[in-house]
Structure 1
Amino acid sequence: MAGEKVKLNRYGRKEVIGHLVGPVFIAALFFVVAGRINIYRAWLWAIVTLLYYTGGLVVILRVNPLLLNERGSWNKKKDTKSWDKILLQIFGTIGLYFHVLLMALDVGRFEWSSLNPWFILPGMILYTGGFNLVYWAMAENTHFETTVRIQHERNHRVITTGPYRIVRHPGYAGLIITNFGSAMILGSMYGFITASATLIVVGIRTWLEDRTLAAELHGYQAYREKTRYRLFPLIW
């Protein structure tokens, strides 16, 4: 596990602020677009999101603080793959903003659909499980940066411990799971549309990143042969 004894620079501090302010902003955006605040499933989703963002931040600050400095300076990286600059914007737009906005319009303003409350529990299991997977990967992998690049200046190496023993891209798997989980918690059938679109975008990014690492990162091809699945065991 990573654990470099480093201090946060201004990029790391920006990442910390983003972790604390981000979930509050997203929740506020949801309620504004929904046009009302009396949606108990939305409050449940918002509170759990804030707790996980805060708890995950505490874990990363303790075990892998260097990662916050690196992730906070993602737009300063000169060697980010050109295709990833495009996919990152698409992912952020669809997987975060469109996803939240569509669900807010669905369950709040227009009430197009409403999944049975029985979906809340399995949705919560998926949502929290996805977050656990993402932060486990971040804690284990000091190279878990925002963009795809070979981190030569940081002695980029293959990580094979923790969730990386199971699949090669556990962070992406966690992100996909959380989107489907959030749709179930909020009770939005339309949320499955943006969650499915996110699955496609992340799948493309996973395929391209995996191919890049196999070609350019020493030891990754051997790791790929040993750990067969990219995102989900027995599936892909």
Structure 2
Amino acid sequence: MIKRLVFQTLISLAVMGVLLFGAAGTLAWPAAWWYLLEIGVLSLWIGFWLARHDPGLLAERLAPIMQAQQSRWDRFFMIVVALVWCGWLILMGLDAMRFHWSAPLPVSLVSFGSLCVFLCIFMCRFVFRANSYAAPVVKIQTSRGHKVVDSGPYAYVRHPMYAAALLFFVGTPLLLGSWWGFTCVPLMVIALGWRAVGEERLLASQLDGYADYMTRVRYRFIPFVW
């Protein structure tokens, strides 16, 4: 499984690199190199941790984004996400380096973006430690004894991984120096919220105890906000 983890991580980084540097028209983009290095190191770190502490969850995280048990609407969502993700990287490469539509961001904002990316992946470790069913697709994992998780970060919000993703959405365009990329963040947050609502409907109808959990933990992403 470790070989698969390393292989998929390298392939993912290679695809992102082609999109970013291809759109930028140059390899002389230090922020993009740092972005790929940061994601690569942190992804392998959390992957190696999962391989030791929860190999079943790691197998789920490495599984294809299209699965037989997956909800039909979530398959459509994942296809759209993949296309939007690629377009987002291309847009930021065009903006930050090829055409310079955005004014250069101050070092403080770029550093803040890097911190947000780090915090996103770091927070995911706490999510994975609490929830062994945190698969990337929406489905009921009957074969793995799927049950409601209400400990750790799930005691405060119903979707702590999505909450962490908000940091990633903000951090990526800041680190890469693209205001145009940053303008896409609200739409991405709305899309993530739409998925969270759909996921909750499925879990409430098919997973014992989830409807009660929703009454105990009121907020989805951010306490006292939503």
TM over 0.5: yes
TM-align CA RMSD = 2.0
CA distance in 2 between counterparts of 1:159 and 1:91 reads: 26
Partner residue in 2 for 1:104? 93
**2:138 partner letter:** V
Structure 1 residue 106: Cα displacement: 0.5
Partner residue in 2 for 1:53? 43
Say whether the 8 Å CA contact 2:23–2:91 is kept in structure 1: no
- Percent identity over the alignment is 28
Of the three residues 182, 203, 218, the one matched with 1:192 is 182
Of the three residues 146, 152, 167, the one matched with 1:156 is 146
CA distance in 2 between counterparts of 1:27 and 1:205 reads: 28
Aligned pairs for 1:173-212 (under 5 A) are 173-212=163-202
Of the three residues 43, 56, 74, the one matched with 1:66 is 56
Structure 1 residue 207: Cα displacement: 0.8
**1:65 partner letter:** P
Structure 1 residue 92: Cα displacement: 2.1
TM, length-normalised to structure 1: 0.87
Q: Segments of 4+ in structure 1 off by > 6 A?
A: none
Say whether the 8 Å CA contact 2:6–2:44 is kept in structure 1: no
TM, length-normalised to structure 2: 0.90
CA distance in 2 between counterparts of 1:219 and 1:16 reads: 37
The aligned length equals 225
Aligned pairs for 1:23-42 (under 5 A) are 23-42=13-32
Instruction: Give structure 2 stretches of 5+ with no counterpart.
Output: none
SS in structure 2 of the partner of residue 112 of structure 1: coil
Aligned pairs for 1:56-95 (under 5 A) are 56-74=46-64, 77-94=67-84
Structure 1 residue 195: Cα displacement: 2.4
Structure 1 residue 204: Cα displacement: 0.5
Instruction: Give structure 1 stretches of 5+ with no counterpart.
Output: 1-7
Structure 1 residue 206: Cα displacement: 0.5
